[in-house]
Amino acid sequence: MSHWIVSLIAVFIGFNLDLIFGDPHEMPHLVRLMGKTITKLETILRKIFPAWERLAGLCLVILMLLFYGVLPYGILFLLYQWCAPVGFLLESFVCYQMLAAKSLRDESMKVYDSLKEENILKARKDVSMIVGRDTECLDKEGIIRAAVETVAENTSDGVIAPLFYMVIGGGALGMAYKAVNTMDSMTGYRNERYIRFGFFPAKLDDVVNIIPSRLAALLMIISAGANGYDAVMAAKIFKRDRYRHKSPNSAQTESVCAGALHIRLAGNAYYFGKLYEKPYIGEDLRPVEADDIVHANRLMMGTAFLALVLFGLIKLFVILVS
């Protein structure tokens, strides 16, 4: 059997393992290991290059890609040569850990449950675990918007993009993508600490997400129609608002979600105590409600299944004709 077919099967298994198990907090996780590695390397590189923060950030990118791209590829290559079943099991596990559909749904639904219990303090705490903005002063509507936005945005970053790269290049390429995305989430802030150090991680993250974020948006429009939401409005708002964000990619799926649900997302937000002015995405056709978190998750899961089938069929076709 072709190595690439075996690798594709590993992606399918990893996808299903994620749906079943998600991210058990008691189990070691490769993405959390990436985060610890980034923190350690940042400390070391800032000491080595105290006056050249951009250079330090570039070195971070190079080292992370070596540790979580080149090294995993080498390990998987050797295992497939020496003991193919072990290589297959390891790649399936890697693919599982690179995906975040179930954990994204579970964590956002904690916010929903707290809101249904009318426990705003707990809802703020729950939403603070999945968003980067300050949450202490968010009201009920602000909490809902934050939860819906993070589900919509992470449909691309946490599900479709890693799936896209794993189908192309297996678990190792998926790990390389996730390393880039994790660097951006930790160092891509436009504040004094990271505006220079995080320059290269943020730019690379923009580049690697150009294609998957747009594929995610297009698939989410289809998912909207399949789930009974307004696909026409989703497409309209996507076309109009998909660049209403400092990142060229973040508003792609957010705009689709806002249009499909007839709500308005984004707007000004506080990060580390500082107000950042951001344009709105979508039309304020109705007030947001807690159930919009459920709707956003349905859109996310529908998009994930569509991507798995589409990417898998395209890869299988390429394998068979090559």
Q: Is residue 127 part of a domain?
A: yes
Nearest to 251 by CA among 268, 261, 265, 270: 265
pLDDT given at position 273: 66
Q: Is residue 312 part of a domain?
A: yes
| pLDDT per position as a tens digit, 215-252 | 999 999 999 999 999 999 999 999 999 998 888 998 99
Residue 65 neighbours by CB distance under 10 Å: 17
Whether the Cβ atoms of residue 275 and residue 268 lie closer than 8 Å to each other = yes
Q: Name the pLDDT band for 192 (thresholds 50, 70, 90).
A: confident
Burial 176-193 (b: 16+ CB within 10 A, else e): bbbbbbbbbbbbbbeeee
Domain count for the chain, please give it: 1
> Token digits for 231?
């696909």
Rounded to whole angstroms, the maximal C-alpha distance in the chain is: 60
Its pTM surpasses 0.85? yes
Q: Is residue 43 part of a domain?
A: yes
**Contacting residues for 143 by C-beta, under 8 A, at least 6 apart:** 111, 115, 120, 123, 124, 127, 135
Q: Name the pLDDT band for 101 (thresholds 50, 70, 90).
A: very high
pLDDT given at position 190: 77
Nearest to 31 by CA among 196, 160, 176, 194: 176
pLDDT given at position 108: 96
Q: Is residue 176 part of a domain?
A: yes
pLDDT given at position 133: 77
Containing structural domain, residue 311: 3-212+301-321
| pLDDT per position as a tens digit, 7-56 | 999 999 999 999 999 988 777 899 999 999 999 999 999 999 999 999 99
Whether the Cβ atoms of residue 198 and residue 180 lie closer than 8 Å to each other = no
Q: Is residue 96 part of a domain?
A: yes
Residue 266 pLDDT greater than 90, yes or no: no
> Token digits for 3?
């190595």
pLDDT given at position 267: 76
Q: Name the pLDDT band for 272 (thresholds 50, 70, 90).
A: low
Whether the Cβ atoms of residue 14 and residue 98 lie closer than 8 Å to each other = yes
Q: Is residue 249 part of a domain?
A: no
pLDDT given at position 134: 74
| pLDDT per position as a tens digit, 273-294 | 677 778 899 999 999 999 999 9
Q: Is residue 8 part of a domain?
A: yes
Q: Is residue 284 part of a domain?
A: no
